[in-house]
Amino acid sequence: MPKPEEAARIIFGRRASQYAASACHSDSDVLARVVELASPEPHWTVLDVATGTGHTAFALAPHVASVTGVDLTPEMIREGEKLRLERPLANVEFRLGDVHDLPFPDQSFDLITCRRGAHHFSDMGRALAEMRRVLRPGGRLVIDDRSIPEDDFTDRCMNELDRYHDESHVRQCRPEEWRNMLETAGFSVERIEPYVIHRPLSSLTEGVSRENVEKIRQILDRLDKSQRESLNLIEINGVPHLNHWYVMISARNP
């Protein structure tokens, strides 16, 4: 099995065009909340880590001086460049890079965002240390990521499902895990906002190998009534839907 970063390059290279058009990643309500938590100022320089095809970078760009989106996957960057050309934005640029070794000097940015990428990081401690290194004193970090509630069954089940959905997945963390990791890294946590989106099963199976789709279905088929209720696994118009948990966080570099 390749390292998570190597797997991510392969998987997201194949799925890059999906993410450019993804309703989940371009969700205007969630992006608006990211911008609101960030409280951006016109003179700020911003780094969007694991930018993918740039949806978060584009949402922030009208509010700040500049945004740099960094991502591991060349195909994602290329899709982001295509989307940028469709928008009247001259202050967004993309660069290849790994959050574990960010290609920027110390204290380069006023704001760092990381949306739906942190559950792929193989060394969260190092990733947070790198983000803090390139963030100016008093600067803000805003994270929006997949999460799970404080429940052992849901934790095990959702992380297993996500590994079959995406073999570069490492871990989606509980809100209190996030608090502990951020404080250990030296950040001061401002807000932690868990939220839930009820999504169709296709959100886990689209673009996934036939073998892994079968494993996902087998996991769900084995669930008892109480476990199905824990995931809010129900059919809507004949289509299975289940909860996906997320968490949005803002923190400061003291």
| pLDDT per residue as tens digits for the range 223-251 | 999 999 999 999 999 999 999 999 999 99
At 12-32, the pLDDT tens digits run 656 656 665 556 666 889 999
Residue 30 in domain? yes
Residue 16 in domain? yes
At 95-119, the pLDDT tens digits run 999 999 999 999 999 999 999 999 9
3 state DSSP class of 108: coil
Residue type for 12, please?
F
Q: Domain count of the chain?
A: 1
At 67-97, the pLDDT tens digits run 999 999 999 899 999 999 999 899 999 999 9
For residue 98, what is the DSSP state?
Answer: B
Q: What is the CATH number of the domain that holds 102?
A: 3.40.50.150
6, pLDDT greater than 80: no
Residue 210: pLDDT band (50, 70, 90) is: very high
| Cα–Cα nearest to 50, from 5, 84, 92, 82 | 5
Q: Please report how the helices 210-221 and 152-165 are oriented relative to each other, as an axis angle in degrees rounded to 10.
A: 160
Burial class of residue 238 in the structure, from the number of CB atoms within 10 Å of its CB (0-12 exposed, 13-18 middle, 19+ buried): exposed
Residue 178 in domain? yes
At 118-132, the pLDDT tens digits run 999 999 999 999 999
Residue 231 in domain? no
CA 71 to chain centre: 12
Residue 158 in domain? no
What pLDDT is attached to residue 18?
65
Q: ∠ CA(211), CA(213), CA(215), 5° rounding?
A: 75
| CA diameter of the chain | 54
What pLDDT is attached to residue 5?
76
At 188-205, the pLDDT tens digits run 999 999 999 999 999 999
What pLDDT is attached to residue 16?
59
| Mean of pLDDT over the chain | 93
Domain boundaries, position 22: 4-150+168-200+243-252
Q: What is the mean pLDDT of residues 207-219?
A: 96
Total-model pTM: 0.92
Give CA–CA dist 5/172, Å, rounded. 16
What pLDDT is attached to residue 31?
95
Burial class of residue 33 in the structure, from the number of CB atoms within 10 Å of its CB (0-12 exposed, 13-18 middle, 19+ buried): middle
Which distant-in-sequence residues (6+ apart) come within 8 Å of 64 by Cβ? 40, 41, 42, 43, 44, 45, 46, 91, 110, 111
Residue 132 in domain? yes
10, pLDDT greater than 80: no
